[in-house]
Structure 1
Amino acid sequence: MLDTLDAPSVRTWCRLALTALGQAREEIDALNVYPVPDGDTGTNLYLTVESAASALDACFAERQPAGPGLAPAMAAVARGALVGARGNSGVILAQWLRGLSEVLSQGGDPAALRKGLVRASEAAYQAVAVPVEGTLLTVAAAAARTADQPSEGSRPDGLTAVAESAHRAALEALAHTPEQLDVLAEAGVVDAGGRGLVAVLGALVDAVSGQNPMGPVALRQEVAVPAPAAAGCEGHERPPGPGHPAFEVIYLLDAPDEALPALRGRLAGLGDSLVIGGGDGLWNVHVHVDDAGAAVEAGVEAGRPYRIRITHFAEAAARSGEREETVAHGRAVLSVVSGTGLAELCAQSGSAVLAADPDRPPASGELAEAVRRCGAREVVLLLNDPELRPAAGAAADQLREEGVRIAVLPTRSPVQGLAALAVHDATRRFDEDVVAMTSAAGATRYAELALAEGESWTMAGVCQAGDVLGMIDGDVAVIGEDLAQTALTVLARMLTAGGELVTLILGEGVPAGLADRLVADARRERPEVDTLVYEGGQESALLVIGVE
């Protein structure tokens, strides 16, 4: 449990927030009926925090080996969120993070966190031209009020108490958002942006408490959050009705502070949903208008707009409806793997390869760009790592808007990816190929052996630093001291459930002779089982085992 925030704990918070938003992304998208029912709030929030986390990772890389202090870390988070903010809710969240950064840059004690949450709420309100209650703003304000006035019986001097009270108040405020906004009540949903902020605050609780090994508290619904009613589920796919502006315009703007009042006035006269976040000469501008050109011209008059994104709501909705009708012009498979040996195996099987850094998994933008480089209209994406699913989901949404037909297969290990590649057939219809590959991956059990980095609770008991962990289907099943003996135990357990083919992928630094011992043991216990051995070269796991 932390007494004060520092740069490493902020980094942990960003990663947990990204995980929480990634897992809740589709849920939040489904809640999105305000201000425009375009079903992308969850994706926009995810991309905003992903940009913040990437900027913080870069800050750590630049300041090795000591790492950054709290002030530069928070500045990196605020700037990264601002530059990568997407949509109305993304810009508001970026401004919330900027307000928080202004205070936490001076210190990370509980009093600073309380003041920071208050300043974050104020900054979020200031970014919105016409604040509306029952939104992310309301949830932020509730969190700030409670954090600023800890409840009786809590430790007012404790960092965890401040974070928990803010999170609890945000959950309660979220549950009441339909009472404040008619469109939410009609659809039977809570506010999507507010739901996203609850996820971010829940991740903060996890980061400062360190007492939730079963996953982010942000994902546990302590206050009932209604699922979208039928009308709401349909509504978020509909374009805005008559009378609503036709375009969403968003751009970054280099402009002096004194140019902002005139810009706000000009854009407010052109449309609605105006949000301008930022400061110190860099701004993120978001507005809904009928005249997209005029909105960009207003930016030119104020300064230098760039990274301009213009979305026509009706065309976006039409593209969404046409996705399944896209005509294919070639098909590709893209495998995300770590290790030169694995990359060569996938390439030999006819797959394009994105080499992943085990210390920095690819972000959604990198995944999307790798798919584009395939040059195909139909793409099957093999992630081979469950941690990449949120980023892949956000990337897939972007690519579908571009007309790419993409299927993200839920492969959780490289051996599942290889099994899927073995049955890939580009002459089949896309759906049939995806089903066959998914079935092959699902029929492959997998295990990994790795070294524990520190003391931790697992499904198999408590492990210590240096112990060998045998993980079967993602859960720690065996804890041992000797790599070979642990590997033999894991393989024996996997074969008790049956199997016809064993695949062994050797990681970097695996002792010579280990594969021969495993092959001999498998043949002795199950003579009918075939065994394949590959040099994978991956750093993430000493050994990967697959049983089909």
Structure 2
Amino acid sequence: MLLTPLDGITLQTKIAANAHAMKRWLGKAEVVLGNHSDRLNAINIFPVADGDTGTNLYLTVRAAVSALDESPVAVTESGNDVGAVLSKAGQAAMEQARGNSGTLFAVFLCAAAEPLAGKTRLGAPLLATALNRAQIRAWSALSEPVAGTMLSVLEAAAHAAQRVDAEQDGDDSNHALGLSLDAVVEAAYQAVLRTEDELAQLQEAHVVDAGGVGMLLVLDCLRSAVLGEELQDEMLDNLHGYKLQDPHIHEHMPADDGVEVMCTISLSPLNAAILRQRLDEMGDSVIMSQVGGARNDDDDDDESPMEASYRWRVHVHVPDPAPAVELIRSLGEPSDIAVSQLALPRHDSDLPRHDPDLPRHDPGQPQHDY
């Protein structure tokens, strides 16, 4: 065990699990992911060895934080609604998600916010419910979910929270929340270690999954923000490929000529199913997740759920963007279509390095509007 579960000695006054703590969590995650972007990029080999998992996670979390910074009303006028804060952050993350990892983080955040709506405090029972909702939604967002990835880490974290909640018989105290957060991070850490044996690509490269490590960092930031404790950097010491002196594993790999296409589009459930099926035939790494609720553009109260329009965030890897974009446009009017090369040269100067007291730096990633 890396973690020492809370006991009666822990100062309960340190624990804060309200809406302000959720803002601190995401702000801390932005800084940590910025500092770890280079190492996450260095071990990024699945589903594509394109060396951008760290950058994509950082940029997506930054979008969530910026949305809260630009509109503090989410905290001050929502009655300190934990769900409202995370929902606002999640919607911004979803609209500006980058890559597989960023999209799945946005799915995680939006889904976790749902059972927290109207709640002023995160307790152990709610944490278990939120993490379980998030891991189910993340698995279902992918057309072909794969174990040994961020998905497995989320699943392990959710199961740990459920186990503690059952053991504590639904106790809503700060003590139970501390126990749950300890267990969540420990389970996530163990799941990260297992990823190397769960995916042949990771085993061959002798590294753990980059997205899984990113989610571990995010969950440790949650624990740190709520419990008022330091981040557990010692967790990273035994992760294969994660030492600063370790090379980027894809430096000598052949370049992938494919591209990543992302957009947001309003579709009926039927057209969304059609789009997913055809994108599956056209490429891989298909992720489709709903953004917000139904939109009834005609204000027709009698409109059936199958006729209602929903906003979707769409992500796919394809050899050529033109057919994918044509398909998307044949079903609706997409916004924010972005096409990015899957394999790009990475240099230290391109990557974010953060100190909490320093201004933010945008590493960027070349993208092209289409």
Q: Would you say 1:308 and 2:320 are equivalent positions?
A: no
Cα distance in 2 for partners of 1:178, 1:283 equals 32
Q: CA RMSD in A?
A: 3.0
Amino acid at match of 1:142: A
Contact 2:31 2:355 (C-alpha < 8 Å) held by counterparts = no
Q: Would you say 1:185 and 2:185 are equivalent positions?
A: no
Q: Would you say 1:253 and 2:265 are equivalent positions?
A: yes
Contact 2:84 2:113 (C-alpha < 8 Å) held by counterparts = no
Cα distance in 2 for partners of 1:237, 1:277 equals 34
Cα distance in 2 for partners of 1:253, 1:236 equals 35
Contact 1:253 1:283 (C-alpha < 8 Å) held by counterparts = yes
Structure-1 residue corresponding to 2:226: 208
For the structure 1 residues 86 and 389, does the alpha-carbon distance in structure 2 shift closer, same or farther, using more than 3 Å as the test? farther
Q: Would you say 1:387 and 2:356 are equivalent positions?
A: yes
Structure-2 residue corresponding to 1:16: 28
- What is the TM-score of this pair, normalised by structure 2? 0.80
Cα distance in 1 for partners of 2:114, 2:314 equals 20
Structure-2 residue corresponding to 1:268: 280
Q: CA deviation at 1:304?
A: 1.9
Q: Would you say 1:146 and 2:160 are equivalent positions?
A: yes
Structure-1 residue corresponding to 2:4: none
Structure-2 residue corresponding to 1:41: 53
Cα distance in 2 for partners of 1:269, 1:390 equals 44
Q: CA deviation at 1:248?
A: 1.2
Structure-2 residue corresponding to 1:7: 19
Q: Return the structure number with greater relative CO, CA threshold 8 A, min gap 6.
A: 2
Amino acid at match of 1:42: G
- Secondary structure at 2:356 match in 1: helix
Amino acid at match of 1:148: Q
For the structure 1 residues 210 and 62, does the alpha-carbon distance in structure 2 shift closer, same or farther, using more than 3 Å as the test? closer
Cα distance in 1 for partners of 2:359, 2:51 equals 16
Cα distance in 2 for partners of 1:100, 1:64 equals 21
For the structure 1 residues 151 and 111, does the alpha-carbon distance in structure 2 shift closer, same or farther, using more than 3 Å as the test? closer
Cα distance in 2 for partners of 1:203, 1:179 equals 26
Q: Would you say 1:287 and 2:326 are equivalent positions?
A: no
- What is the TM-score of this pair, normalised by structure 1? 0.55
- Secondary structure at 1:391 match in 2: coil
Percent sequence identity over aligned pairs: 31
Cα distance in 2 for partners of 1:191, 1:200 equals 14
For the structure 1 residues 231 and 53, does the alpha-carbon distance in structure 2 shift closer, same or farther, using more than 3 Å as the test? closer
Which structure has greater strand proportion?
1
| Alignment of structure 1 residues 137-536 onto 2, 5 Å | 137-150=151-164, 157=171, 158-212=176-230, 216-217=231-232, 219-221=233-235, 224-227=238-241, 233-235=248-250, 238-240=253-255, 246-279=258-291, 280=293, 281-313=310-342, 316-317=344-345, 320=346, 386-387=355-356, 391-392=360-361, 395-398=362-365, 401=366
Larger Rg: 1
- Secondary structure at 2:229 match in 1: coil
Cα distance in 2 for partners of 1:61, 1:48 equals 21
Q: CA deviation at 1:232?
A: 6.7
Q: CA deviation at 1:66?
A: 7.5
Q: Would you say 1:32 and 2:36 are equivalent positions?
A: no
Amino acid at match of 1:235: H
Q: CA deviation at 1:136?
A: 0.3
Amino acid at match of 1:78: G
For the structure 1 residues 105 and 176, does the alpha-carbon distance in structure 2 shift closer, same or farther, using more than 3 Å as the test? same
Contact 2:44 2:209 (C-alpha < 8 Å) held by counterparts = yes
C-alpha distance after superposition, 1:370-399 (max 9, x if no partner) = xxxxxxxxxxxxx9x94366832xx2454x
Contact 2:42 2:249 (C-alpha < 8 Å) held by counterparts = no
For the structure 1 residues 152 and 291, does the alpha-carbon distance in structure 2 shift closer, same or farther, using more than 3 Å as the test? closer
Cα distance in 2 for partners of 1:305, 1:92 equals 20
For the structure 1 residues 271 and 121, does the alpha-carbon distance in structure 2 shift closer, same or farther, using more than 3 Å as the test? same
Q: CA deviation at 1:69?
A: 2.3
Contact 2:258 2:341 (C-alpha < 8 Å) held by counterparts = yes
Contact 1:296 1:305 (C-alpha < 8 Å) held by counterparts = no
Cα distance in 2 for partners of 1:104, 1:237 equals 46
Amino acid at match of 1:195: V
C-alpha distance after superposition, 1:72-121 (max 9, x if no partner) = 21210110110121001110111011110111225332211111101100
Cα distance in 2 for partners of 1:224, 1:128 equals 29
- Secondary structure at 2:207 match in 1: coil
Structure-1 residue corresponding to 2:97: 85
Cα distance in 1 for partners of 2:234, 2:88 equals 29
Of the three residues 65, 72, 75, the one matched with 1:60 is 72
Contact 2:74 2:88 (C-alpha < 8 Å) held by counterparts = no
- Secondary structure at 1:387 match in 2: coil
Cα distance in 1 for partners of 2:45, 2:194 equals 16
Cα distance in 2 for partners of 1:302, 1:148 equals 40
**Equivalent pairs, count:** 329
Give 5+ residue unaligned stretches, structure 2: 1-11, 294-309
Tell me whether 292-301 or 79-88 shows the greater mean CA deviation: 292-301
Amino acid at match of 1:254: S
C-alpha distance after superposition, 1:147-192 (max 9, x if no partner) = 1111998796322221211111000000110100011111111000
Cα distance in 2 for partners of 1:131, 1:390 equals 37
Of the three residues 105, 112, 134, the one matched with 1:100 is 112
Amino acid at match of 1:287: V
- Secondary structure at 2:262 match in 1: strand
Structure-1 residue corresponding to 2:6: none
Structure-1 residue corresponding to 2:87: 75
For the structure 1 residues 55 and 236, does the alpha-carbon distance in structure 2 shift closer, same or farther, using more than 3 Å as the test? farther
Structure-2 residue corresponding to 1:445: none
Give 5+ residue unaligned stretches, structure 1: 325-363, 365-382, 403-548
For the structure 1 residues 237 and 47, does the alpha-carbon distance in structure 2 shift closer, same or farther, using more than 3 Å as the test? farther
Cα distance in 1 for partners of 2:214, 2:227 equals 20
C-alpha distance after superposition, 1:378-431 (max 9, x if no partner) = xxxxx9x94366832xx2454xx59xxxxxxxxxxxxxxxxxxxxxxxxxxxxx
Contact 1:271 1:288 (C-alpha < 8 Å) held by counterparts = yes
Contact 1:4 1:159 (C-alpha < 8 Å) held by counterparts = no
Cα distance in 2 for partners of 1:136, 1:176 equals 11
- Secondary structure at 2:338 match in 1: strand
